[in-house]
A and B are shown apart, each in its own frame.
With several copies, the nearest count.
Chain A
């Protein structure tokens, strides 16, 4: 067994309350995610977002808790359900909505779409739409940080369903044997697309019950508690940064809506949905802040600020035209071209 065993469990156990500023930041981040994705849903319904889009409404505490805990130069890797993970790194909301809408102002000028958001200057190292693929890539970024002695950490988000694919297994073993500074975060929202994870998984906690297979500490936390996510994120980042190697954290959460697009999520029992709606991370956090004596006005200010932000972002994205057609065959190669002959 590893000498770090218990370190993260201890962090969870002793998680205090973050300082006041951090708490408002956590609320701000969650609120920004919420308004942005609600707007994305509306835009989808208006057919202004084509193709598909995978919302993480209900899962905001995870993005916010890690986002607040990460250093600016840390790396984050996420999936198609990665709008929030991208936003919390400080990426422009206009650029995100613009990308979902396929506009010129989009983060990727419309070349990537909702499933592939990346902003490398902010350390948002991409959204990957093939299950598990980004897990070894995150290990590679961590390897690079380790080799360059940069003190950076890579954080990699993925879903419960992802724990059954081969890349999960290879990545965790690989990260552990090289003691890489990478934090793997399994957002267990109980479902793959439409199939309940319990139906297709040999263990109850798809990530945590497998941690020991990689010499890692099993950690399961309430992913709808932003303070707790922040605490465990801080501890895992610190462990990685100080040479203590990788970690695997399972956070329990729930998506309010369906898997993607207009999926109504009808395969989920009503009571289950209702119970989780009760546990909305933002409602809970707002009430907690108030109970802890935070001024309602500072909360309202954040809400107003984010509401204005999303309105402005939507407007700018709407005003942006379609991308110029010339970019359809640029930037395959580093020289900017896509030439395959000479």
Chain B
């Protein structure tokens, strides 16, 4: 075990996979010489050289398009889109080209590629550099969607994403970059599509993702300590494939579900999980399904305002208590 930051785990995963397979290449803005604007890719240029780790112009369509073209001709490219908000400038390449081409061509080619990005709020960057768009990706058939909550998962899931034969959008939560965590030594790979039960409990299931996971854990502790409510906390980790088995098993046991998502309210991943449970596990439920989300607004910039809109541990606690009433 080594203590790594969430940030360091990114380069650790990429390095692990680049050492293993020389078809893995990496491109993006300021990722090579500068080591990334979040310092997530330091050292890679030195170790792997400029043919494998390449700085690009500010041309997100070219970056993502080139990633697609490389993937369909034998490479395993990794692209960085600096902030997830910028997916909007290259969304066509992601959703209409990469996501659809295998299906449309009757499986003639596959797209072993990863697009990483810094996602989410909490850094006081304002509305165009803070949003959570994992739900945009989940809504598109043909994309796998991963969002880790800790350094060990960053390393393991990113490695798995790079090995995966399908396109994976990998959402790193920027407010977690500084958090540290024990990461297994040696090769570390965590298969996609497995949610993780972080805390067991019998009264209510709390399903969370990325930055919401530590908040859910904190809420669970408060619920236990102050209200004797035993919450089970699940880190979804991967939205596609979605581990409904783990979620359903838990809800069958607790009979109550609260989802905690950072994306704005409408059509978030929590809505999908809620609707699945409302359809397939209805008879097991003993109360409403509650969704805790950022309200349906862009993120404000001032610290006080941003803190007011992002789901907090307190808000999670309050939602569970309301459900328990």
- Residues on A lying within 8 angstroms of B by beta carbon are 50-52, 75, 102-103, 106-116, 118-120, 125-126, 128-145, 147-148, 154, 161-162, 164-167, 170-171, 173-174, 177-178, 192-195, 199-201, 267, 322-323, 325, 327-336, 338-342
Contacts and interface: CB of A to CB of B under 8 A. Distances in A.
A340 B266 contact: yes
Nearest to B305: A328
Interface residues of B, number: 81
B34 interface: yes
Interface in B123-163: 123-129, 141-142
B93 interface: yes
Which are the 7 A-B pairs with shortest beta-carbon distances?
A140-B69, A136-B65, A113-B301, A110-B302, A102-B302, A51-B124, A140-B66
A164 B65 CA distance: 15
A332 B34 CA distance: 37
B252 interface: no
Contact of B65 (A125, A140, A199): A140
Contacts of B86: 130
- Interface of B: prevailing SS: loop
Given A115-B126, A140-B66, A342-B243, A193 B301 contact: no
A138 B68 CA distance: 9
A156 B278 CA distance: 49
B89 A327 contact: no
B242 interface: yes
Interface of B: 25, 29-30, 33-34, 37, 51, 54-75, 77, 85-86, 88-89, 92-93, 96-97, 101-110, 112, 123-129, 141-142, 165-166, 193, 240-245, 265-266, 295-298, 300-305, 308-309
The listed residue with most B CB atoms (<10 A of its CB), out of A119, A120, A137, A167, is: A137
Given A130-B92, A137-B68, A332-B102, A113 B124 contact: yes
B33 A118 contact: no
Contact of B242 (A164, A325, A342): A342
A166 B37 CA distance: 22
B275 to A, nearest CB: 13
Nearest to A338: B297
Nearest to A335: B165
A161 B57 CA distance: 7
A332 B142 contact: yes
Nearest to B309: A328
Given A133-B92, A192-B30, A174 B105 contact: no
